[in-house]
Structure 1
């Protein structure tokens, strides 16, 4: 298998890396992450103008990429800059619409690609513990053909800024059954939908979403009723790959910061990078990061494979990223000493992001159990 990126992907990575380094300095990122919106709509539009969102979708959907390696290239670069704009929501919601949406619904993808819309996935619920099929939110069909949604969704990334939500709701079956899950596109202004927003510990914002008898039309249903699990699994799988690639980009930057510190910090008049014990720790860390890179490459290559191979590769990558990301965060802070914990040092923010990525879309323990279960099945 050829793991070299195509010329188009190399150009995409170069363009995005250059833009992030020149226009998205840490001070800019920190200001945006702490702002009332948790990101910049202007910056979101500029990313869209560069074609970054379009790279996440195939030509049939108005993009120019859409494969696993396209997602990996984009999110690795975003991870290097700790970018807080709503790429993850655009990817997961857009891919779900591409898989199961009607022609009218697919107009949303064009809006995401051009940066005029913000979409958020509202799937996780309080107490769901990352289980994809655990959906207690209910959707009841009305006599006029529309639907009434009732339930609550937790930790919806960029929920306050979203113009549309992709909401999972149960139309039949037990609360943990794969069958019976339906997907709905719910506009932000829908009556009965309320939000409670808050800041994330690693930057940006999220929200708790409550659906109190929210009424939507029949055209809000994405795909067939009760058949949303497969679409949900594939779109969230894209999100898992994106998070793994983002973590890889963040690890590379944390590694570079630490190497530079070891080469310049002196103790007892000697560069600490000359201490053999620290050299061994850094060498071990570099090996771990390369293992993480291999896991991301494997997951990107498997994204278009049949279900079990795809999902096992994704869970294997997320398991590795969870473990290695935590170790990179801990070791880099340890090697920096006390300064590694200071808010003013960018490294501390990279460490936070690496730890938090482990808890998005399933943590290390969840994906390890899932990897084993998929192998049995």
Structure 2
């Protein structure tokens, strides 16, 4: 396998990292967070100008036809900067649903608006009782002539309060934990009967709880088969998990570099604390975890487009488990090596730790993915 980036990918990496360096310092991030919608509207426009919002979409619908590798590059840079904008929810999550499940007409109507920065989307899949089971859906979709009526509650809808449209998973048939009978429905953010309650997550992002009370959806806004959407949801969840791994690697790299700089400048007992061998060993442990996470993320990224669901799941679960374990190790070490300042809101290291903790829980934590990996026979199957 060739693990080197192409010339175009290197240019993408350089341009995104330069944008983050120039426009996303920790103080600038605070200003964006204080804006009314909780992120930088001007930055969203910059993403559109650079083509980042169009990156993974097919060229025939105004995109650039990028692969999971390009998404990895962008997400890692965004992780280093700890961005607040709804890129993951709009482009990776909802955009993934459109790429894999939408009709040509739906793609033509929605993707250009996303690429130009005129439309933000969210994906409402989680429910209070579902935990990490994507098939555990109690929200109901009942057909009423040419329309569908949605009723139910969705939780932890990332950037759900600012989304112009929300893709909702709902059950059109079967019991609440059946793997068949689930559909995807495109709902207008201001639809009658839809109530959004916005709140801050622990890492400073925005999410919403959404209640649907007889929300009407036209037949043209049903994405794919109204009773067979689970394979699409599962595939998008795997791709999203790979993107989250890349974002976490960006966070880890910044946490490791920031901690190393602190060890080189903080003085105690008349010398820099980085001269103490025991602290050097802990810094090395952080570096090892970072490199392990980077390697597993690259593997998961290269397997994200695998059509064999079981093989794809093995790679994604192995990487997500590694990321979760590294988040705990690197986060714990970085906070402890910074001492009391690491726990303050005024210093950025604690914000990174909070964010990687959130990444660990999105689409399955360490325990969940270790169980899934075990149920699939492990990462490397025995030769038959």
Q: TM-score range by the shorter chain?
A: over 0.9
Q: Which residue of 1 aligns with 2:370?
A: 368
Consecutive unaligned residues of structure 2, counting only runs of 5 or more, are none
Alpha carbons 1:58, 1:67 under 8 Å: kept: no
Residues 195-204 or 248-257, more deviating: 195-204
The alpha-carbon distance between structure 1 residues 375 and 58, as it changes in their structure 2 partners (threshold 3 A), is farther
The alpha-carbon deviation at position 34 of structure 1 amounts to: 3.8
Structure 1 Cα separation of the partners of residues 253 and 79 of structure 2: 9
Of 129, 139, 142, the residue aligned with 2:141 is 139
Structure 1 Cα separation of the partners of residues 309 and 89 of structure 2: 22
1:244-265 Cα shifts (integer Å, max 9, x gaps): 1000001000111011011111
Structure 2 Cα separation of the partners of residues 315 and 16 of structure 1: 28
Q: Which residue of 2 aligns with 1:184?
A: 185
Secondary structure of 2:377's aligned partner: helix
Confirm or deny that 1:257 pairs with 2:258.
yes
The two structures, once aligned, show a CA RMSD in angstroms of 1.4
Alpha carbons 1:61, 1:98 under 8 Å: kept: no
1:76-99 Cα shifts (integer Å, max 9, x gaps): 000010011111112211121121
Q: Which residue of 2 aligns with 1:316?
A: 318
Structure 1 Cα separation of the partners of residues 176 and 220 of structure 2: 24
Confirm or deny that 1:124 pairs with 2:109.
no
Confirm or deny that 1:89 pairs with 2:89.
yes
The alpha-carbon deviation at position 66 of structure 1 amounts to: 3.1
Confirm or deny that 1:345 pairs with 2:340.
no
Q: Please report the TM-score for the alignment, with normalisation by the length of structure 1.
A: 0.97
Q: Which runs of 4+ in 1 moved over 3 A?
A: none
The number of residue pairs the alignment matches comes to 376
Structure 1 Cα separation of the partners of residues 192 and 254 of structure 2: 44
Secondary structure of 1:128's aligned partner: coil
Alpha carbons 1:34, 1:203 under 8 Å: kept: no
Secondary structure of 2:173's aligned partner: coil
1:274-324 Cα shifts (integer Å, max 9, x gaps): 111011111111111100001100001101212111111111111111110
Q: Which residue of 1 aligns with 2:198?
A: 197
Secondary structure of 2:151's aligned partner: strand
Confirm or deny that 1:48 pairs with 2:10.
no
Structure 2 Cα separation of the partners of residues 327 and 60 of structure 1: 44
Consecutive unaligned residues of structure 1, counting only runs of 5 or more, are none
Secondary structure of 2:210's aligned partner: strand
1:156-202 Cα shifts (integer Å, max 9, x gaps): 11111000001000011221121111000101111100011111221
Alpha carbons 1:190, 1:216 under 8 Å: kept: no
Secondary structure of 2:203's aligned partner: coil
Secondary structure of 1:301's aligned partner: helix
Secondary structure of 1:126's aligned partner: coil
The alpha-carbon deviation at position 33 of structure 1 amounts to: 2.4
Secondary structure of 2:298's aligned partner: helix
Secondary structure of 1:159's aligned partner: coil
1:2-56 Cα shifts (integer Å, max 9, x gaps): 1111111111110000001101111111222243311122211111111112222
